[in-house]
């Protein structure tokens, strides 16, 4: 393999399209040293234009000069079809000098001549192409270049023909579609113009396309390239199983191909299609497998539903649109062309959540993760992967989710004299919520509800002249799932269906889902929310508002008693003091802080229960758990003090 190391081979200045670059070896004499024993030579280059449709590029030409003990090299950059370019006069010992152009497969020397009228002579070699003998006259005086001998080289570009073909592997007869290839000359003397740098510092490149049809093998057609070594690459995510290159039965591969990177190097001989190099890529189908796993004991027997879609260039890309997997099972969901994007989303199974999504291999043959950037979302139970070489395995690891708590609220109404509103939950139990003309009234259902389960709430009979109106509101707006260190919002709206008097909500994990209904005629709220937490036995009875600001602590701790003191219930009419209002706001704030801390404690305890936790992570989690316990105790003491006010 040849490595490009051109640097800035030429610079475009105004309309000049070819420049001379001279590198004189250390044994050459300086101009001040040129006396009667030294003279000058000059080398000029003309690089002719190729035929129509042939590659266009700049050539970097190197010449070696020898005369006795003197060894000198010079380089010239010349553009195809551009003007003649020459070196500056080069001091050499007077007498005879030999100039040899270093050959390359992408050009050949068509003529070597002297400039008419030069004092010296130029004699091309009949045995060694690109070599000429020059007679060099001594300089009349130091630095006098009037007797310079000039040798003129004229070179023609040499091209070859390449064709790229594509075929399916024996076990992948269903593979079809168009495939693109990048072709790059690996000859270091060839370069093209780079608009970004204003120099000829880019390698010569072109592209090709080959299509596999039902007949199998498909080819690009002949492509004219500079003769010599070229690189062919099938870009993107690929599953190449073989690459071959032949010309008239001869192996043209320059070293073993890199199947993982779909890259090979080939020698292209000069000539037309009768002497062309044919490069054949063989591809196989990729397989995508979906698996289901469970973290911890008590794996459910239910089947977990999955929805799948896919996209990509044709050849084929279709996958199973749905799958149902039980814990410990796997399913091949598609055999597709490599590079196909497969999108997988796990459906909702109440009481469970996705703890991890694992994709194997971690890196594909191109050294890139199969996971599409920003596609993996545990809260939304989804990932997108790019199918690569062989098999791509996607495993969804689920675990149990903490239950949530339901809180039913009624906004203030101007007609609050008749007490309570009954609500049925899931068609069986009844929750009563007080009416108030100056506060939102709420009751917490003591029944725990599975995470992501659908709960239906229906309002019952209202006092005369009252009626439900508008759309119930839900907090949080979207379902939330516990993740370290804080809950994460999903893309599922908490409110899935509603009328003015009913709502179906999806439960968030380990926290309160609050549903508020509106009563006509409405009244503005002038006091904080009043929350009741009845015991399970008293669910069907009328609820009496407690003085708790939102009852969160009782719901999280599993207690069924009101959160504040067991003294007389505080009704809306008694909450008129600004001091009491301020105190209850503090209670609400502390209760929410306690709920958040306890959620973090549960998450840590769950992690520490794992047998596969690394020692360093386990120690860090234990330290964090100890800090959270201290914080919990401080908040409980603060709450107790507020309750005594």
72-92 residue pLDDT tens: 899 999 999 999 999 999 999
What does DSSP assign to residue 485? S
For the chain, list the domains and their CATH numbers.
20-157 (no CATH), 159-283 (2.60.40), 286-400 (2.60.40.1140), 404-574 (no CATH)
**What per-residue confidence (pLDDT) applies to 538?**
54
Mean pLDDT of 390-395: 96
Q: Before 550, cis peptide (omega within 30)?
A: no
**Residues 587-607: pLDDT tens digits?**
788 888 888 888 888 888 877
Mean predicted lDDT score pLDDT of the chain: 84
Mean pLDDT of 186-214: 94
**Residues 89-125: pLDDT tens digits?**
999 999 999 999 999 999 999 999 998 888 888 999 9
Could you tell me which residue, 71 or 318, shows the higher pLDDT? 318
155 within 8 A of 47, measured Cβ to Cβ: yes
Closest CA to 435 of 459, 458, 454, 419: 419
For 39-53, 74-88, 166-180, 606-620, which range has the lowest pLDDT when averaged over its residues?
A: 606-620
What does DSSP assign to residue 548? B
**What per-residue confidence (pLDDT) applies to 21?**
37
**What per-residue confidence (pLDDT) applies to 576?**
38
**What per-residue confidence (pLDDT) applies to 474?**
97
pLDDT-above-70 percentage for the chain: 83
Ramachandran bin of 220, using left for φ above 0, alpha for ψ from -120 to 50, beta for the remaining angles:
alpha
Listing DSSP states for 577-629 in one string gives -HHHHHHHHHHHHHHHHHHHHHHHHHHHHHHHT-TT--HHHHHHHHHHHHHHH
**What per-residue confidence (pLDDT) applies to 23?**
39
Closest CA to 10 of 21, 1, 25: 21
Report the C-alpha gap between 641 and 586 in whole angstroms: 11
For β-strands 277-283 and 322-325, DSSP reports them as unpaired
Q: What is the pTM of this model?
A: 0.71
| Whether pLDDT at 427 is above 70 | yes
**What per-residue confidence (pLDDT) applies to 555?**
31
The single residue listed with the structure tokens 């740098």 is 197
């Amino acid at each position: 393999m040849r490595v490009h190391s051109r640097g800035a081979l030429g610079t475009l200045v105004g309309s000049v399209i070819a420049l001379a670059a001279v590198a004189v070896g250390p044994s050459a004499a300086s101009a001040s040293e040129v006396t009667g024993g030294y003279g000058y030579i000059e080398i000029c280059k003309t690089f002719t234009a190729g035929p129509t449709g042939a590659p266009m590029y700049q050539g970097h030409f190197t010449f070696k000069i020898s005369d006795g003990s003197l060894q000198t090299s010079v380089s010239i950059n010349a553009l195809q079809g551009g003007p003649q370019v020459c070196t500056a006069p080069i001091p050499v010992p007077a007498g005879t000098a030999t100039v040899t152009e270093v050959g390359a497969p992408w050009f050949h020397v068509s003529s070597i001549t002297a400039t008419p009228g030069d004092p010296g002579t130029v004699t091309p070699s009949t045995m060694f192409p690109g070599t000429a003998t020059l007679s060099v006259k001594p300089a009349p005086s130091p630095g006098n270049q009037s007797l310079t001998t000039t040798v003129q080289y004229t070179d023609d570009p040499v091209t070859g023909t390449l064709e790229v073909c594509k075929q399916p592997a024996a076990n992948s007869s269903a593979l079809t579609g168009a495939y693109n290839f990048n072709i790059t000359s690996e000859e270091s003397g060839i370069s093209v113009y780079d608009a970004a740098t204003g120099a000829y510092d880019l390698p010569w490149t072109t592209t090709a396309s080959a299509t596999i049809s039902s007949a199998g093998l498909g080819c690009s057609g002949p492509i004219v390239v500079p003769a010599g070594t070229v690189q062919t690459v099938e870009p993107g995510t690929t599953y190449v199983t073989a690459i071959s290159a032949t010309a008239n039965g001869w192996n043209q591969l320059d070293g073993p191909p890199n199947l993982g990177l779909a890259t090979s190097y080939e020698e292209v001989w000069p000539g037309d299609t009768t002497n062309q190099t044919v490069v054949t890529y063989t591809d196989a189908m990729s397989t995508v497998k979906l698996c289901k796993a469970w973290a911890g004991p008590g794996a459910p027997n239910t089947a977990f539903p999955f929805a799948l879609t896919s996209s990509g260039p044709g050849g084929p890309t279709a996958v199973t649109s749905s799958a149902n997997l039980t814990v410990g099972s796997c399913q091949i969901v598609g055999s597709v062309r490599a590079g196909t994007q497969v999108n997988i989303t796990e459906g909702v199974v109440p009481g469970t959540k996705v703890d991890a999504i694992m994709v194997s291999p971690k890196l594909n043959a191109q050294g890139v993760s199969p996971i599409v950037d920003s596609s993996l979302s545990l809260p939304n139970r989804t990932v997108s992967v790019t199918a690569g070489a062989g098999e791509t395995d996607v495993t969804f690891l689920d675990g149990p989710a903490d239950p949530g708590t339901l809180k039913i609220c009624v906004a203030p109404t101007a007609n609050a004299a008749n007490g309570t509103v009954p609500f049925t939950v899931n068609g069986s139990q009844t929750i009563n919520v007080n009416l108030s003309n100056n506060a939102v009234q709420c009751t917490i259902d003591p029944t725990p509800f599975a995470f992501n389960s659908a709960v239906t709430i229906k309002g019952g009979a209202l006092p005369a002249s009252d009626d439900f109106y508008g759309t119930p509101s839900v907090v949080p707006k979207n379902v939330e799932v516990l993740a370290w260190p804080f809950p994460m919002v999903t893309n599922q709206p908490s409110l899935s269906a509603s009328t003015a008097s009913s709502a179906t909500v999806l439960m968030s994990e380990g926290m309160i889902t609050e549903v508020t209904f509106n009563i006509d005629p409405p009244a503005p709220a002038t006091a904080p929310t009043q929350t009741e937490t009845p015991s399970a036995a008293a669910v069907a009875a009328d609820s009496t508002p407690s003085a708790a600001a939102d009852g969160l602590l009782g719901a999280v701790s599993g207690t069924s008693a009101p959160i504040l003191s067991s003294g007389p219930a505080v009704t809306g009419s008694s909450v008129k003091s600004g001091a009491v209002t301020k105190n209850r706001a503090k209670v609400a704030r502390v209760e929410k802080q306690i709920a958040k801390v306890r959620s973090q404690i549960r998450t840590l305890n769950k992690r520490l229960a794992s047998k596969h936790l690394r020692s360093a992570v386990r120690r860090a989690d234990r330290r964090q758990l100890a800090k959270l316990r201290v914080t919990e105790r401080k908040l409980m003491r603060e709450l107790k003090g507020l309750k005594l006010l």
